Amino acid sequence: MRVLTCLIHEHDWRFVLLAALMCLAGSIVAVTLIQRTMTQNGPSRFHWCFMSAVTAGAATWATHFVAMLGYQVVGAVQFNGPLTIASALIAVVGIGSGLLIAIHRNRAFATVAGGTTIGLSIAAMHYAGMFAYQVEGIVRWAPEYVIASMIVAVGLSIALVARLRHATGSLLVDRVTCCLILVAAIVGLHFTGMAAFSVTPIPGVPAIADSETFVAIALAITMVALLIVGMGISTYLAESRVQSESRDQLTHIAMHDTLTGLANRHAFSTALESECQKLMRYGRPFALLMVDLDRFKPINDTLGHPIGDLVLDKVGGRLRRAVRAGDLVARIGGDEFAIIAFGLAEASQASDLAARVVEILSRPFVIDGNVAELGGSVGVALAPRHGTATEELVQHADVALYSAKRAGKNQFCLFESEMMDAMQRRRFLEIDLRRACMREEFTVAYQPILESVSGKITGAEALLRWNCQGRGDVSPAEFIPIAEDLGLVSRIGAGVLQQACRDAISWPEELNIAVNVSPVQLLDPRLPQIVGQALLDSGLQPERLELEITETALLGDDEAALRTLTQLRDMGVRISLDDFGTGYSSLSYLHRFPISRIKIDRSFIQKLPTDAGSASIVRAIAQLGESLDMQVTAEGIETAEQLSFISKHGCDHVQGFLLSRPIKTGEMITLLNERAASIAA
Amino acid sequence: MSLSRLLYVSHCALKEQGAARDTAVREIAARSAKRNPSSLLSGALLYVDDTFVQVLEGPIKAVERCFEAICCDFRHDDIKLIDLIPAKDRVFPEWSMAFLAADDATMKTHGDLAEIRFLVGVNAREAVNQMRQLLKQSAD
């Protein structure tokens, strides 16, 4: 056909080859840039559009002119400068406009209108170029080929836009396909257009072929065009790198804790989820460790947050050292961390790891000249033994952590299913306890205290009892710690004081009442006020009231304790030291604090009179009391032998099951009446 | 330059035993002696009865960084920080990390070292002085 004939016979193949290479190179880059234009949002879209247009325009224009330079024609050829430049501009502006339309929201409109604009621009550039091509000869145009060329250009351009907008999964496939369409459009237009063009030499005018100049011009055009294309490539690559770097940065920020550089909560959840899936699919076990710092909050409070942050950073570093390479360490909260140990199957291995973590956290931290001793507690859950789902594992590790905390901190705990039951029981107990406070379900029982020699009842110790609806009797040993944690102990304690004072008022005047005060209550600055109120409401004389505190109550903030105890003593209330001999007793306590009675712990009484050691201790305490002018009570008298020993060795008062179990106030009154009656008799 | 001096004790937890352990300890001391000058640290490391007693002195930041690295090391455990004070002068300026261990060659006896170790729990300053004395003795 005419087009092929034109291509093969009327063009110097070397120029055609150069033009073809030019076209291919330019098209690939142009398509890449156009793809970018399509995916970009916002104002940068226009920049990409401009670059694409310049690259595509340069490629098209260069292809045309190099091919023209290779057109073998008889007759002198000249290129009209301004038109040549104009054709380049037509190409760029036209393609640019076409692209802007092609990225329009309405797909149909964008494809057709945009494709048409691009196609017509390429055609316009070609024909402008043809008008710039001044040859000596008679030029004839075959209109059917002109129209055909435009149809080719527009048709393929529409196809190009359609393909660009319909992206498949593979970027490379899209790019190559679109490039080939664009090349087909450019080349198709050109040679179909050239088929429309024929030159008949004017007879008599010699043909002056200036092939050297043409080669030079061809090479110059190609070079410039390639430079433009090269710039397109560079810009694209440079921008891609920046994009990918900033994407990496964003990913890092999204997945990491900024302070410590450890994985953050999000990364941790993702990793845990992924591990659970691997467990299901391949059976790969792992261990989950939840780490909680023990004494971090005081650091933040006393040394300030900047130092606190530095400490956390160091903690992160230490945790990284304690784990094996490849294990995940994450910071999931203020002072909460988590570790996923991949591939860990044995409980012993997990325990070793947890032990290392506990040990390394117990070592001192030095920041800015300040020394901080933190410590950490660890809860361990193994997968699949302790669970296979993320929520389950986290819950179990948390329960184990809680056990470690309750057991005294600075240790680790492996999950056991009993813990869940204990946890549940505690949770329900908390609910019941709160309700008990509201409903005042508590009662007070009294254990009489007798004079050891005469056997006279001199008073009673008030003991808290809780009969929980549906649960029965709950021992104070179990619910008092919970009450302390819930902050209910002051309220319950106030209730006990009120009740005890009220009941004591109904007893004979010479009887005293002793009420236990927990360490938490002692630290409450409202305690003197609460005691005062109880005395006032009941009308009980302060001298009849005795408050029993344990040695551990004096351990903590002893300044505050001293203040409170002094206030109470000034009110007339007496203080006795309970469970004496078992705690961190320092004899200086007896001296410093306003104590009027020592109660020897039952553990010494139990072993009397056979155990010589206990006997010596009891004797010593009795003598100590005497020399310090303090009363001494022996608690837990259960046998007659214990009673006789005690009476012989200087304890003023006795208390215990042998003498009487704890009884209600009504029974107390009955007992007193019986005694009174028997004395009278 | 404001100096600080830190003193701590710890228990050796190296896997090696006997002569191999002694060699390993010597290597630890030698390596820190090489590293310390660049961070302006000096001090002494005493090793007796599987116990380390170490003194670090230098700018506070360097001391803290070094101590943190020490606290991240599992070759020892039971680390107790005994003393951390600002200091006017270095006690061990000649040594980036002097090493004190029972040694026939330098005439340091087990008794001398054990005495220092005991002294640490009672009077840290005196213990440091004694370490210096012992070093000077062998140097002379």
Given CB atoms, is B68 within the 8 Å cutoff of chain A? yes
By residue count, chain B amounts to 140
Domain with B27 in it: what CATH number? 3.30.70.100
Q: pLDDT digit string (tens) for A104-149?
A: 888 888 889 999 999 999 999 999 988 888 887 788 888 888 999 9
pLDDT grade for A360, boundaries at 50, 70 and 90: very high
The secondary element (H helix, E strand) that includes residue A204 is none
Question: What average pLDDT does chain A have?
Answer: 88
- pLDDT tens for chain B, 140 residues: list them: 789 999 999 999 988 888 888 888 888 888 888 888 888 899 999 998 889 999 999 999 999 999 999 999 999 999 999 999 999 999 998 888 888 887 656 666 788 888 888 888 888 889 999 888 888 877 66
Helix, strand, or coil (residue A413): strand
CB atoms within 10 A of CB A572: 12
Q: pLDDT digit string (tens) for A153-192?
A: 999 999 999 988 887 778 888 888 999 999 999 989 988 9
User: Is B72's CB within 8 Å of A371's CB?
Assistant: no
Helix, strand, or coil (residue A616): helix
Can you read off the two tokens belonging to residue A500? 């005890």
**Closest listed residue to residue A396, CA positions, set A418, A368, A428:** A418
| Distant-in-sequence, close-in-space partners of A435: CB < 8 Å, separation ≥ 6 | A441
The whole domain housing B132 covers 3-139
- What is the model's pLDDT at position A610? 86
Amino acid at A142: A
Nearest CA-CA distance, residue B134 and chain A, Å: 28
Count of structural domains, chain B: 1
User: Is B71's CB within 8 Å of A364's CB?
Assistant: yes
Given CB atoms, is B84 within the 8 Å cutoff of chain A? yes
The residue among A363, A365, A371, A373 with the most chain B CBs within 10 A of its CB, best to mutate, is: A363
**How would DSSP label each residue in A8-46?**
HHHB-HHHHHHHHHHHHHHHHHHHHHHHHHHH--STHHH
Given CB atoms, is B79 within the 8 Å cutoff of chain A? yes
| Distant-in-sequence, close-in-space partners of A127: CB < 8 Å, separation ≥ 6 | A146, A193
Given CB atoms, is A307 within the 8 Å cutoff of chain B? no
A343 within 8 A of A284, measured Cβ to Cβ = yes
A269 within 8 A of A383, measured Cβ to Cβ = no
Can you read off the two tokens belonging to residue A293? 């710092």
User: Is B86's CB within 8 Å of A369's CB?
Assistant: yes
**CA A380 to each of CA A29, A341, A398, A404, A608: distance values in angstroms, whole numbers, following the listed order:** 56, 11, 8, 10, 45
The residue among B6, B72, B74 with the most chain A CBs within 10 A of its CB, best to mutate, is: B72
**DSSP state letter for A111:** I
Which domains are present in chain A? Answer: 2-244 (no CATH), 265-415 (3.30.70.270), 427-676 (3.20.20.450)
**Tokens 């026939």 belong to which residue?**
B104
User: Is B71's CB within 8 Å of A369's CB?
Assistant: no
Given a cut of 70, whether residue A556 has pLDDT beyond it is: no
| Distant-in-sequence, close-in-space partners of B98: CB < 8 Å, separation ≥ 6 | B43, B44, B45, B92, B131, B135
Q: pLDDT digit string (tens) for A1-26?
A: 677 766 666 778 888 888 888 888 88
**Closest listed residue to residue B57, CA positions, set B31, B84, B76:** B84
Given CB atoms, is A360 within the 8 Å cutoff of chain B? yes
